[in-house]
Structure 1
Amino acid sequence: MTDESVVTTVVGERAFLECPRWRGDRLWVSDLYAHEVLSIGADADVRVEATMGDQPSGLGWLPDGRLLIVSMVDGRVLVREDANDPAALSVHADVSHLATGKLNDMTVDENGHAFISTFGFEFRSHSYVESAVLIHVAPDGSARIAADDLLFPNGSVILGEAGDAVRTFVIAESMGNRLTAFDLDRSGRLANRRVWAAFGPEVPRTSVRDAMAAAQVAPDGICLGEDRTIWVADALNQRVIRVAEGGVILDERRFGTGVFACAVGGVRGDVLYGCAAPSSSEHQRRGTREASLLATAI
């Protein structure tokens, strides 16, 4: 079902926003090419939460409340040591020896287990689609490969309650036309890999251009929806869709521009946020200020 709800601009004139998270009555988001992590309040006040030399991407929090930030290019996960000092960052984990290409998005559970996706290859329209790994970082900063042979793994979510012995970890494969699931235990181990939602047949890996031309959905950032559903930012079709296990699309919000990540938030949990830009191309976006955070009611 397509919904024509009004889309509003919360914040504009940003470089490229990614990995939104709702926490503490604020929307947290990375601005890759401005090298900043921001939080945005209900009245659209913008606070700079962290500044760094590298590109920030995935965000999460340790059990003690410290902010974790993916440092995309140098292959590290940083931790903010002082909430009052945006530059007070130290290294939580160096995963550069495990990474396949740049680091990407991240999900952190309530115990501090972090899962970081990786590109797998240099993202260009003519690039061959090479497989990538998902990296697990334990609360103590030790790291290992949690899963491999993923096609541009991107956003991820955890389905289930915090006390469950086994939950479901779901990750978007942007070049795979699908969401992939694993069983997740309390130690951060993944098992029982399976397709959670397929949007069509396998797509060619001959190039990014060929894969995108054949795909029905390019699942990018994702977030939890109600009743064990998942909101998926569809990087191909300027929309965010709500998907049930198996791939049925239950709901759709169109944003009228490219949308590459999403989050559910608002003080009542009834707002769908989209990180929007004319494109996701780094060479097109790096020197611009055309990205925005958009919102619509759900």
Structure 2
Amino acid sequence: MSETQVLAAGLGFGESPRWHDGRLWCANWGTQEVVAVSLDGDREVTVRVPTTVPYSIDWLPNGQLLVVSGQEALLLRQEASGTLSTYADLSGIDKTFNELVVDGRGNAYVNGSTIALVTPDGTGRQVADGLAWGNGMAVTPDNKTLIVAESHANQLTAFDIADDGGLSNRRVWADLGADNPDGICLDADGAVWYADVPHQHCVRVREGGEVLQRVPVDRGCFACMLGGPDGRTLFVVAAGWLGMDRMYEALDARTGVLLTAAAPSPGAGYPALG
């Protein structure tokens, strides 16, 4: 068990934490912001997103930021000017999208009840469906396996990734019992860290479900990411949560925090430690 420390407070609802360019970045739900926080706690709004909830973020290999405008089923790309343009319109695949991960080949996976693949030319297609609300995703360092948190199925689900980015061989990677996995990340030992909102903790598990470590928090844990100079800092975004229908009521309280804890193994795979 690791103790947590507060790196930043006063967030709305932090989601999709990513270690990039020496800072921890996250989408700040309810504020139309993507923010970056230094290890000294200095905070910068790096981009404003024209949607109520910028669901998730990640980067293309060329360094361009992608943002999921989930309620509009759009994947946005930040241009050199700083403005956001439509990278892929996914409204023909599903109505709402949630989490995002970009693999080492520049393929972007975006999920919700389905998984859409957006190839480097900006073309999107459905590669999986029937998810019990897909949340965090991670890709193994060899670009051969995609792991998805199915929050309402209480499990981590894995797919084999084909050369063209398609998915197959769907299977349970880990049965999590009563836990509801949200954001996830991989470490160099092949274990997965997952965040859990209702149970207010982050948990590290092996394939098969063996629990290796648990980090308790005093509020809902939305997502986690490994990063820092040596990749061994676990960053956790957490907040008080009353449900989607009361999001703005909870937002007014600004209970969102960015926490840190020591981790036994550095981050690996994708989302990449940029």
In structure 2, C-alpha distance between the alignment counterparts of 1:18 and 1:293, rounded to whole Å: 10
1:276 match: 238
Query: Which consecutive segments of 4 or more residues in structure 1 shift more than 6 A?
Result: none
Tell me if the contact between 1:155 and 1:221 (Cα under 8 Å) persists in the aligned partners.
yes
Task: State the 1:281 CA deviation.
Answer: 1.8
| Match in the other structure for 1:117 | 111
1:140 aligns with 2:121: yes
Which of 176, 183, 208 is the aligned partner of 2:153? Answer: 176
In 2, the alpha carbon distance for the partners of 1:199 and 1:20 equals 22
Residue equivalent to 1:238 = 200
CA distance in 2, matches of 1:139, 1:117: 17
Deviation for aligned residue 1:160: 3.2
Shift of the 297–280 alpha-carbon distance from structure 1 to 2, 3 Å rule, reads: farther
Query: 2:272 matched to which residue of 1?
Result: none
Letter in 1 for 2:256: A
**Counterpart amino acid of 1:293?**
L
TM-score by length of 1: 0.83
RMSD over aligned Cα, in angstroms?
1.4
Structure 1 partner of 2:134: 153
Contact 1:27 1:39 in 2 (8 A): yes
SS at match of 2:30: helix
Equivalent residue, structure 2, for 1:108: 102
Q: How many residues align?
A: 259
Q: Is the 2:108–2:118 contact (alpha carbons within 8 Å) kept by the matching residues of 1?
A: yes
In structure 2, C-alpha distance between the alignment counterparts of 1:281 and 1:294, rounded to whole Å? 21
Determine if the alignment matches structure 1 residue 297 to structure 2 residue 259. no
Say yes or no: does 1:33 pair with 2:30: yes
- Contact preservation (8 Å) 2:7, 2:39: no
- 2:268 equivalent in structure 1: none
> Which whole-Å CA distance do the structure 2 matches of 1:91 and 1:188 have between them?
21
User: What residue is the counterpart of 2:163 in the other structure?
Assistant: 186
Per-residue deviation, 1:248: 0.9
Unaligned runs of 5+ in 1: 119-131, 201-215
The answer to whether the Cα contact below 8 Å between 1:260 and 1:280 also exists between their aligned partners in 2 is no
Instruction: Summarize deviations over 1:184-229 as a string: whole Å, max 9, x none.
Output: 13321111111111123xxxxxxxxxxxxxxx11011001123111
**Structure 1 position 98 matched with structure 2 position 63:** no
Q: Do the aligned residues in 2 keep the contact of 1:77 with 1:94 (CA within 8 Å)?
A: yes
1:227 aligns with 2:200: no
Aligned residue identity for 2:44: R
Amino acid across the alignment from 2:99: D
Larger radius of gyration: 1
Alignment-mate amino acid for residue 194 of structure 1: R
Partner Cα distance (2:14, 2:39) in 1: 18
The Cα shift of 1:280 comes to: 5.7
Partners of 1:53 and 1:283 in 2: CA distance: 21
Aligned sequence identity (%): 37
The one-letter amino acid paired with 1:96 is S
Q: Which runs of 5+ in 2 are unaligned?
A: 264-274
Q: Secondary structure at the match of 2:153?
A: coil
Residue 209 of structure 1: aligned partner: none
Does the CA-based 8 Å contact 1:15-1:285 persist in structure 2? no
Cα separation, 1, equivalents of 2:3 and 2:179: 23
How far does residue 9 in structure 1 lie from its aligned partner after superposition?
A: 1.2
Structure 2: distance between partners of 1:89 and 1:160: 29
* Cα distance in 2 for residues equivalent to 1:245 and 1:96: 34
Match of 1:66 in 2: 64
Corresponding residue for residue 50 of structure 2: 53
Deviation at 1:102, TM superposition (A): 2.2
Q: Does the aligned pair in 1 maintain the 2:3–2:215 contact within 8 Å?
A: no
User: Aligned equivalents of 2:237 and 2:210: distance in 1?
Assistant: 23
Query: Counterpart of 1:149 in 2: which secondary structure?
Result: coil
